[in-house]
């Protein structure tokens, strides 16, 4: 079984976010980038298939040279090879078109992508990719087992969980729960050294249509100041809730 795991290069959630050029460009200065958490769950499950069922696992990213350290980390975690499509990931549909070319040319049986990335939170790429390559699709996947070409999965739905069966080829939208958090891996020194020798292929992009454009970014409104009230002064608390917060 050939598995391709899509890796998004995203800012760490602890990073301080700023914008430049009139709030039209993301400022990357001082920002630490990581593997998108939903993708990391998918990569960890793919490594299980490699170790238990002899699958081969490649990772792919659509982005510039700055994303290569993130791909190298995925290689250090055990992936066999990496692919970078040399174009910025500015639009979900354009990214899906680039990935569709990689999947088709590589004849992959299973594609695992995070259900959404934590930067844009679009949640659209896995589904559009499945449509472009005419593959089955399971989103919000929290359990995945494969026997030959037969697939059994569990996905989250509103108010509960749903067990589904399907067949390969398949695109999966992975999320927290696909593996236990305790199963997530940290690259060890041997993995880091081996990653330097593994192939990282750079592909030029295909012509793809861009359907959306980011016009301007805006930070959330800062939180208001906090007023501390002594637990012994209930009269002041009631007064503030009534006259200032106006919630009672």
H helices, E strands: number in the chain: 6, 13
- In whole angstroms, give the CA distance from residue 99 to residue 133: 10
Please name each of the domains of the chain with its CATH number: 2-217 (3.40.50.620)
| DSSP assignments along 216-239, one per residue | ---PPPPPPPPPP--TT-HHHHHH
User: What pLDDT tens digit does each residue of the chain (248 aa) get?
Assistant: 999 999 999 999 898 989 999 999 999 999 999 999 999 999 999 999 999 999 999 999 999 999 999 999 999 999 999 999 999 998 999 999 999 999 999 999 999 999 999 998 999 999 999 999 999 999 999 999 999 999 999 999 999 999 999 999 999 999 999 999 999 999 999 999 999 999 999 999 999 988 888 899 998 888 878 889 998 998 999 998 989 888 88
Query: In this structure, what DSSP letter does residue 131 have?
Result: H
């Amino acid at each position: 079984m050939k598995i391709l795991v899509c890796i998004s290069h995203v800012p760490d959630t602890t990073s301080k976010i700023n914008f430049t050029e009139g709030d039209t460009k993301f400022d990357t200065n001082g920002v630490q980038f990581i593997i998108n958490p939903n993708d990391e769950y998918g990569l960890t499950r793919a490594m299980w298939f490699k170790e238990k069922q002899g699958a081969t696992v490649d990772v792919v990213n659509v982005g510039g040279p700055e994303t290569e350290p993130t791909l190298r980390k995925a290689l250090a975690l055990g992936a066999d090879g990496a692919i970078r499509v040399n174009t910025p990931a500015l639009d979900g549909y354009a990214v899906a078109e680039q990935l569709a070319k990689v999947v088709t040319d590589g004849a992959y049986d299973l594609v695992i992508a995070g259900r959404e990335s934590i930067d844009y939170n679009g949640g659209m790429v896995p589904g559009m990719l499945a449509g472009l390559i005419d593959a089955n699709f399971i989103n919000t996947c929290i359990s995945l087992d494969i026997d030959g070409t037969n697939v059994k999965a569990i996905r989250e739905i509103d108010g509960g969980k749903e067990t589904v069966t399907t067949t390969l080829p398949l695109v999966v939208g992975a999320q927290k729960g696909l593996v236990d958090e305790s199963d997530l891996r940290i690259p060890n020194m041997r993995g880091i050294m081996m990653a330097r020798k593994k192939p990282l292929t750079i592909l030029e992009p295909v012509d793809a249509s861009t359907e959306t454009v980011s016009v301007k970014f805006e930070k959330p409104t800062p939180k208001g100041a906090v007023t501390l009230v002594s637990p012994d002064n209930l009269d002041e608390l009631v007064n503030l809730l009534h006259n200032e917060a106006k919630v009672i």
